[in-house]
């Protein structure tokens, strides 16, 4: 059966059957995303540290700055290619085949990261970037396609899906980085992450019958021809991605151009639809994309500047677990721990508040998320100014508290944002809109890399490596910017909500 639909809402339910009150297909997507995130967060925990030590050590104090720029370039393009991936799924392959092809490419790229030379390593990153564009936005879009318009379970479904993301992210840094990577070399940590991606593909394919028609090929696009066409296009796309990984300024300009193009497209689509309500909804969506950029620019310090801070200036707890002593990489698992603990509470909180007419609007939830990201950085500023020990380090508890506050902000914004995109976009443009959501995160990651280069390695041009004072100065600026923008979004929430025309 093709992915075409035949009712007025453009919705056909997935195959019958539920688990814990949600379609069975949700749990297929949960499992596939679990292992894909195991791959991503496993390698993310090691990436900046490995790149600095293995490829840029000759730069001395500038190694971390250059590694932060490479990290920011990679993480931005991982999300940037979601625009193309959403288009491919909407118009050419369908969501199911896009996910399988993207996952296979990511597994190949991950194994390429084991190479000892920088060229092959960067090619591996480029292959992962292209594969992720086919995988990441489309599996999120499929979650939205499991629920009818107006289904109250949608937000909770996305929160459950978000737990799958974070369950994989929880164990990945421990297994890939702190156990395998730190003891046998980070290259073997990348190998373990690649195995995780293969397991994700096995889950997705093995439980494919739970999806039924959801995400199948568009009418007339069945067969191997479209797959081969997309594969050739992916191979061609690897070349410019490889180039951009080492050209930070060019990448920044390209991201700005893509964001402007995205704005123009959705405004044009809203106008030509002849539906004023849809135009307003797209304007609201684009405004919230701006909040998303700022939030993730702050939050994504986790894999770079906060990781370097933990390596040099955070005193680890003196414990041993079955002979294993936690290393600084385990902080990359702290956020997922809090997500798993708190996500069920937030998932039940929103419906409970809604029943009492107290549920904050989507723009207000975004404002709370921004405030959480900002306040989390002030915690570190406060600790650095008041609680540095004789060894020049702060307690692990302060960084853990920062991650807790960041996580609470994330739960107010990220799963809500994923659901928001599927509600505000036209059904035939949902994949592209989800790609736009991830493009906003791409812009955020690029900015995050520039910030991290300043916080952890001078200005990014080889100046002296960072000190605790430099971290405090940078984080204090992030706090001020974040809290001011959060307040502005809080005050503008009624106007944004009006543009959404009843979408909650």
> Which pLDDT tens digit goes with each residue over 79-102?
778 778 888 888 888 888 899 999
Q: Is residue 199 within 8 Å of 35, Cβ to Cβ?
A: yes
Classify strands 18-19 and 22-23 as parallel, antiparallel or unpaired.
Answer: antiparallel
Residue 213 token pair? 């028609």
What b-and-e string marks burial along 129-142, b requiring 16 or more CB atoms within 10 Å of the CB? Answer: bbbbbbbbbbbbbb
Mean pLDDT of the chain: 86
Helix ranges (DSSP H) in 361-467: 362-386, 396-424, 430-457
**Residue 206 pLDDT level (bands cut at 50, 70, 90):** confident
The yes-or-no verdict on residue 182 having pLDDT over 60 is yes
Q: Report the C-alpha gap between 161 and 167 in whole angstroms.
A: 10
Which pLDDT value is given to residue 417? 84
Give the range with max mean pLDDT: 49-63, 370-384, 414-428. 370-384
- Name the token pair of 210: 């739970």
* Percentage of residues in the chain having pLDDT higher than 70: 96
Burial of 369 (0-12, 13-18, 19+ CB in 10 A): buried
Q: CA 258, CA 430: separation in Å to the nearest integer?
A: 18
- Residue 450 clears pLDDT 90, i.e. is over it: no
- The whole-number pLDDT of residue 10 equals 63
Show the CA angle centred on residue 333, arms to residues 347 and 342, nearest 5°.
Answer: 20
Residue 9: predicted pLDDT: 55
Does 25 have pLDDT greater than 80? yes
Question: Where residue 302 falls among pLDDT bands split at 50, 70, 90?
Answer: confident
pLDDT digits (tens, 9 = 90+) for 270-301: 999 888 999 999 999 999 999 999 999 999 88
Q: Determine the average pLDDT of the residues in 370-377.
A: 96
Rg (CA), the chain: 22
CA pair distance 386, 411, nearest whole angstrom: 29
Backbone CA torsion sign across 259, 103, 297, 366: positive
* pLDDT bucket at 492, cuts 50 / 70 / 90: very high
Mean pLDDT computed over 289-316: 89
CA distances from 351 to 144, 347, 503 (A): 18, 7, 15
In the predicted structure, residue 388 carries a pLDDT above the cut 50? yes
- For residue 359, what is the DSSP state? P
Q: Give 316's DSSP letter.
A: P
Band of the pLDDT at 108, cuts 50, 70, 90? very high
Query: Running DSSP on this structure, what letter comes out for residue 116?
Result: S
Q: Is the pLDDT of residue 457 over 70?
A: no
Structural domains of the chain ordered from first start? 18-499 (1.20.1250.20)
What is the rounded CA–CA span in Å between residue 157 and residue 347?
9
What beta strand segments (E) does 173-239 contain? none
C-alpha 290/C-alpha 260 separation (Å) is 12
pLDDT at 183 over 60: yes
Average pLDDT of span 42-52: 90
**What is the enclosing helix (H) or strand (E) of 18?**
strand 18-19
Per-residue pLDDT of 403-432, as tens digits, reads 999 999 999 998 788 778 888 888 778 878
């Amino acid at each position: 059966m093709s992915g075409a639909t035949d009712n007025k809402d453009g919705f056909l339910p997935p195959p019958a059957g539920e688990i814990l009150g949600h379609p069975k297909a949700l749990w297929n997507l949960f499992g596939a995303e679990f292992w894909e995130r195991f791959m991503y967060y496993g390698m993310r925990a090691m990436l900046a540290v490995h790149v600095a030590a293995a490829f840029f050590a000759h730069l001395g104090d500038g190694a971390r700055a250059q590694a932060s720029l490479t990290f920011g370039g990679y993480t931005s393009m991982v999300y940037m290619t979601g625009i193309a991936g959403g288009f491919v799924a909407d118009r050419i392959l369908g969501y199911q085949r896009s996910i399988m092809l993207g996952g296979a490419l990511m597994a190949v790229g991950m194994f390429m990261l084991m190479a000892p030379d920088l060229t092959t390593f960067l090619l591996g990153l480029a292959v992962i970037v292209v594969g992720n564009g086919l995988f990441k936005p489309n599996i999120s879009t499929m979650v939205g396609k499991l629920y009818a318009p107006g289904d109250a379970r949608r937000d909770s479904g996305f929160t459950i899906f978000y737990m799958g993301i974070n369950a994989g992210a929880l164990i990945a840094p421990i297994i890939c980085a702190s156990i395998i990577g730190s003891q046998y070399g980070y290259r073997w940590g990348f190998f373990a992450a690649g195995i995780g991606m293969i397991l994700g593909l096995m889950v997705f394919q093995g439980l494919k019958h739970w999806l039924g028609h959801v995400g199948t090929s568009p009418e007339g696009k069945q067969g191997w021809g479209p797959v081969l066409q997309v594969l050739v296009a992916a191979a061609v796309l690897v070349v410019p991605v490889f180039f951009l990984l080492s050209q930070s300024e060019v990448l920044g300009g390209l991201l700005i151009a893509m964001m402007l193009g995205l704005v123009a497209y959705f405004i044009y689509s809203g106008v030509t639809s002849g539906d004023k309500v849809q135009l307003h909804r797209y304007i609201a969506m684009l405004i919230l994309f701006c909040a998303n950029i700022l939030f993730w620019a702050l939050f994504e310090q986790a894999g770079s500047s906060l990781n370097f801070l933990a390596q040099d200036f955070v005193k680890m707890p003196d414990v041993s677990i079955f002979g294993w002593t936690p290393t600084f990489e385990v902080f990359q698992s702290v956020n997922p721990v809090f997500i798993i603990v708190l996500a069920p509470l937030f998932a039940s909180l929103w419906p409970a508040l809604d029943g009492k007419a107290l549920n904050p609007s989507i723009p207000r939830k975004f404002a709370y998320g921004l405030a959480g990201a900002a306040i989390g950085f002030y915690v570190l500023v406060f600790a650095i100014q008041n609680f540095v020990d004789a060894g020049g380090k702060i307690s692990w508890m302060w960084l853990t508290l920062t991650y807790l506050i960041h996580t609470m902000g994330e739960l107010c914004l990220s799963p809500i944002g994923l659901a928001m995109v599927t509600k505000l976009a036209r059904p035939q443009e949902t994949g592209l809109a989800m790609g736009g959501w991830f493009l906003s995160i791409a812009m955020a990651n690029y900015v995050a890399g520039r910030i991290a280069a300043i916080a952890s390695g001078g200005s990014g041009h080889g100046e002296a490596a960072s000190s605790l004072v430099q971290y405090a100065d940078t984080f204090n600026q992030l706090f001020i910017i974040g809290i001011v923008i959060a307040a502005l979004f809080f005050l503008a929430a009624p106007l944004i909500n009006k543009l959404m025309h009843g979408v909650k």
